Homo-oligomer: A and B are copies of this chain.
Amino acid sequence: MATITYREALNQALAEEMERDEDVFLMGEEVGLYNGAYKVSKGLLDRFGELRVVDTPITELGFAGVGVGAAMVGLRPVIEFMTHNFAMLAWDQVFNSAAKLHYMSEGQFNCPIVFRGPSGAALQLSAQHSQALESTYSHFPGLKVCTPATPADAKGLLKAAIRDNDPVVFMEGELLYAMKGEVPDDDDFVIPLGVADVKREGSDVSIITHGKMVHVCMQAAQKMEKDGISAEIVDLRSLRPLDVEAILRSVHKTNRVVYVEEGWPYVGIGAQIVDIIQDEAFDYLDAPVARVTQADIPMPYAKQLEKMAKPSAERVIEACEKVLYRTV
């Protein structure tokens, strides 16, 4: 175990997988000479050279498609979107190409590609740069989606994503890159897709969440502890495949659920989890599932407005109190 940052964890995952399999290469804006806009690919150009760490023009649609083409003929591209906000320009290639090729060709072509980059808000980047897009990606069959919240998960899941034979959308967080955590040194430390992680055991209420929000939920849980509320935190880690068993296990245990996500509410991930819970654990719910999301608006720039718009520990606590029928 070493304590490293989320950024370093991703860097290790990339380096190890590139070392392990020469079909793996990294392509995107500023990933090479500049070492990555967020320095995730630091040192990789020097180590692997220009064929395997490729700086692209600012043409998201184009290089995403180049990646899909390369994947069709057996390479394993890791395509970095500087952020997933810009990936919208490439969504045709993600949704109409990557997600459908295997099926349309009756399995003749695989698409082992990873589309990675930060998703969601950082600090005061305003509307076009602050979108958490998990819901949209997860909607399309043919894709797999991961949202690691910690350095260990980032490393283990990225390695799994690169080894997976399907297109995987990998969603990181600008505000997570500098976060430190313990990560196994083992070169073969891989976290399989579809396995949730109970980040905190609890008995009164289940807070189910993914990605960056795990940390907001942890703060909330610690505060609630003081008021004698024991909150369990289930981090889904991947949204497709989804660890439904882990969700149900926690619901059976607490009978009260809050779903917390960074994105917008309308058809957010939480809505889908609510649907699964009411369908498969209807009689176990002592209260409606409550949801915490970002405000249902484009993200504003002003510091205070942005703060109000983002999910906060306070709002998570309010939601927990609601499902616990406690009102303060």
Residue positions of A touching B, CB distance < 8 A: 61, 85, 88-89, 91-92, 95-96, 99-100, 103-104, 126-128, 131, 135-136, 138-142, 240, 263-264, 266-272, 274-275, 278-279, 282, 287-291, 296-298, 300
B135 touches A267 (CB 8 A): yes
Nearest opposing residue in chain B for A61, CB measure:
B89
Q: CB-CB < 8 A to A99: which residues of B?
A: 298
A99-B298, A300-B103 known; A278 and B267 CB under 8 Å? Answer: no
CB-contact partner of A278 in B104, B264, B274, B300, under 8 A: B274
Tell me which residues across on chain B come within 8 A of A135, comparing CB atoms: 139, 267
Q: How far is the CB of A169 from chain B (nearest CB, A)?
A: 13
Contact of A103 (CB < 8 Å), options: B92, B127, B279: B127
**Inter-subunit contact B291/A275 (CB<8 Å):** yes
- Asked whether A100 lies within 8 Å of B289 as measured between CB atoms, the reply is no
Cβ–Cβ < 8 Å partners of A126 in chain B: 104
Nearest-neighbour CB distance to chain B for A32, whole angstroms, equals: 25
CB nearest to A295 among chain B residues: B141
Q: Can you report 25 A-B residue pairs in the complex whose CB atoms are below 8 A from each other?
A: A85-B96, A88-B91, A88-B92, A89-B92, A91-B91, A95-B131, A96-B127, A96-B128, A99-B298, A104-B127, A104-B128, A104-B298, A135-B267, A136-B136, A136-B139, A138-B267, A141-B264, A141-B296, A267-B268, A267-B271, A267-B272, A271-B275, A274-B278, A278-B288, A279-B290
A264 neighbours in B (Cβ, 8 Å): 139-141
Which B residues are in CB contact (< 8 Å) with A263?
139
B139 adjacent to A297 (CB under 8 Å): no
A259 to chain B, nearest CB (A): 9
Give the complex CA separation of A271 and B135 in angstroms: 12
Chain B residues within an 8 Å CB radius of A268: 139, 267
Closest to A142 in B: B298
Q: List B contacts of A298 (CB < 8 A).
A: 99-100, 103-104, 141-142
Give every chain B residue within 8 A of A274 (Cβ-Cβ): 271, 274-275, 278
Contact A282 B288 (CB under 8 A): yes
With A139-B266, A266-B272 given, name 17 new contacts (CB 8 A). Answer: A61-B89, A88-B91, A89-B92, A91-B91, A96-B127, A100-B128, A100-B298, A104-B128, A136-B139, A138-B266, A139-B267, A141-B266, A267-B267, A271-B272, A274-B275, A278-B288, A279-B291
Q: Complex Cα distance A290/B280, Å? A: 11
Question: What residues of chain B lie closer than 8 Å to A282, measured between beta carbons?
Answer: 287-288
Chain B CB within 10 A, most for which of A240, A264, A272: A272
A183 CB to closest chain B CB, in angstroms?
Answer: 30
